[in-house]
Amino acid sequence: MSPTQMLMIEHRLIEQVLNCAVEMCRRAKTEGSLNKVNAEKILDFIVNFSDRYHHSKEETHLFRMMEERGFSPYQGPTAVMRQEHDLGRGYVKQMSDSLKGAATGEKNSLVNFVENAYNFVEMLRAHIQKEDTKLYPMANNVFGHEDQIELTAAFNEVEERETALGTQTKYLALANELADFYGVHKVDLKNVQDCGSEVCGGCGG
Ligand SMILES: [Fe+2]
Ligand SMILES: [Fe+2]
């Protein structure tokens, strides 16, 4: 499996949790308060799986290598992707800050949490789409065989370190627990294809 295929599989799991976040916010608006336990689980996933685990592989290894192969770190696709990661961190900070009040039904906190969650979901869905369809193909176009080997080795090191911490197992279970709770479709990670979709039968991928 290539490094960008690994990242695309992670995207599918992140999207599953984004779908749960949308449903959690919909219910919070109807019920007048936020489900504190699930909101904490979703933020835990976003901070530790999406950002610390997935985004750091992109920023520290993939984007860095693209920049070494000629992409500007100050403008252009990797710079935009880094800016969007930072934008997401801002939304997540707002969500964390308003979580406690939102869970008690305090109106301003609830509105703030839901608005930031919706902005975050919209931004990250579009970000993932850009990476799957534009950025990763660009990377694969400029990387040579040796680059792919080097990047794979760097990703494997991250995988080993995170496996020792139980990261992948913990957050896969958490994503599926949330999907069960909210009735959200669970992605079949074993059948994600190169195009980023689950087996669709239409793309030939
Ligand atoms: Fe990204
Ligand atoms: Fe990504």
Q: Is residue 93 part of a domain?
A: yes
Examine residue 145 and state whether it is found in any structural domain, yes or no: yes
What is the whole-number distance in angstroms between the Cα of residue 34 and the centre of ligand 1? Answer: 28
The whole-number pLDDT of residue 202 equals 36
The number of domains in the chain is: 1
Q: Is residue 204 part of a domain?
A: no
Q: How far is the CA of 91 from the centre of ligand 2 (A)?
A: 17
CATH number of the domain that residue 166 is part of: 1.20.120.520
Instruction: Give the integer Cα–Cα distance in Å for 205 and 6.
Output: 15
88/123 Cα distance (integer angstroms): 7
User: Is 132 contained in some domain?
Assistant: yes
Domain-embedded: residue 199: no
Q: Copy the structure tokens of residue 113.
A: 């949490």
Whether the predicted pLDDT of 201 surpasses 50: no
Mean pLDDT score of the chain: 94
Instruction: For residue 26, give its domain range.
Output: 3-67+78-191
Q: How far apart are CA 68 and CA 120, in angstroms?
A: 30
Distance (angstroms) between ligand 1 centre and the Cα of 46 equals 12
Give residue 172 CA to ligand 2 midpoint distance, Å.
16
Question: What distance in angstroms lies between residue 192's CA and the mean position of ligand 1's atoms?
Answer: 18
Return residues with CB closer than 5 A to ligand 1 (ion): 58
33-36 contacts, C-beta under 8 A, 24 or more apart: 33/102, 33/103, 33/104, 33/105, 33/110, 34/99, 34/102, 34/103, 34/110, 34/113, 35/103, 36/99, 36/100, 36/103
Does the pLDDT of residue 137 top 70, yes or no? yes
The per-residue pLDDT for range 52-69, each reduced to its tens digit, is: 999 999 999 999 999 999
The ligand that comes nearest to the alpha carbon of residue 7 is: 2
State mean pLDDT over 199-204: 41
Cα-to-centroid distance, 127 and ligand 1 (Å): 6
Query: For residue 198, what pLDDT is reported?
Result: 59
Domain-located, residue 201: no
Instruction: For residue 202, tell me if it sits in a domain.
Output: no
- Contact yes or no for 113/95 (Cβ under 8 A): yes
Longest dimension (CA), the chain: 55
Give the pLDDT band (50/70/90) at residue 197. Answer: low
For residue 121, how far is its CA from the centre of ligand 2 (angstroms)? Answer: 13
Q: How far is the CA of 156 from the centre of ligand 1 (A)?
A: 18
Model confidence pLDDT, tens digit, residues 70-96: 999 999 999 999 999 999 999 999 999
Q: Examine residue 151 and state whether it is found in any structural domain, yes or no.
A: yes
Cβ(13)–Cβ(187) under 8 Å? yes
